[in-house]
Amino acid sequence: MAKPTVTLIPWDPYSPKHVKRMVEQRIVCGWHAPIVATEWKDGHINGTKCIYWIIFPQDEPEREKYLKMHIKAYPKETEELVDSSKTLLGNPRVPTNVKLLPVGHIALGLGVGGAAMNIAERMATEEPLNARHLLLDTVDHDDQSDKDFAIANYGGEFKIPTQAWYERRGYRLIGTVENLYQDPDPNGKIWPSRTVFLQKDIV
């Protein structure tokens, strides 16, 4: 099956609807939901953080089918948002005001994650960032593979741990930190876990 095409649209930290949707998606993801309206918002505004929605463009042949699948899995996300972000990387931006229905990073099983990463990596190497080294962090694959940990924090087990997924894309392990993040699961429990830092060099 062909992988879907996706488009990245900047998140709008000034929009209550954008913030609410991002919090809902971060709750599903299992971490950082409490800081969306504070640290994430401030970072996006001042340019130290760049956050995008992942959407299916109008010319994606299977767009309606993919959207129905997403809404069936996440019925809270039926309301469309509007491309209203007036800043990007700390610089002014003219929003399109086009309606959009974000699927975020939630639909990884459809190949959306890979398509979005291709775009994000390409954008990072272009103006104004001109990156030559890409760095990210995620949960250690052994911790994320633990059944109890995965169910408590993500609502289910992973077919492929995130670390392994990134490593398949050419990222390599450069460091590990114990208990860097202290985000509680939906029941309030904080799980001990390792955070791994990965790097990909752009030639």
Mean pLDDT by 10 residues, the chain (203 residues): 76 94 84 88 83 87 91 91 87 88 60 72 80 91 90 74 91 95 82 94 82
Per the structure, the complete domain to which residue 164 belongs is given by 133-203
Last residue of one domain, picked from the residues 103, 131, 159: 131
Q: Would you tell me how many other CB atoms lie within 10 Å of the CB of residue 27? A: 16
Task: Please check whether residue 97 is in contact with residue 83, taking contact to mean a CB–CB distance below 8 angstroms.
Answer: yes
DSSP secondary structure code for residue 188 in this structure:
S
Whether 59 and 140 map to the same domain: the answer is no
Last residue of one domain, picked from the residues 101, 131, 161: 131
Which amino acid belongs to residue 146? D
Last residue of one domain, picked from the residues 98, 131, 164: 131
Whether 185 and 91 map to the same domain: the answer is no
Q: Which residues pair with 198 in a beta bridge?
A: 136, 173
Single pTM value for the model: 0.60
How many structural domains compose the chain? 2
The conformational region for residue 61 under phi > 0 = left, psi -120 to 50 = alpha, else beta, is alpha
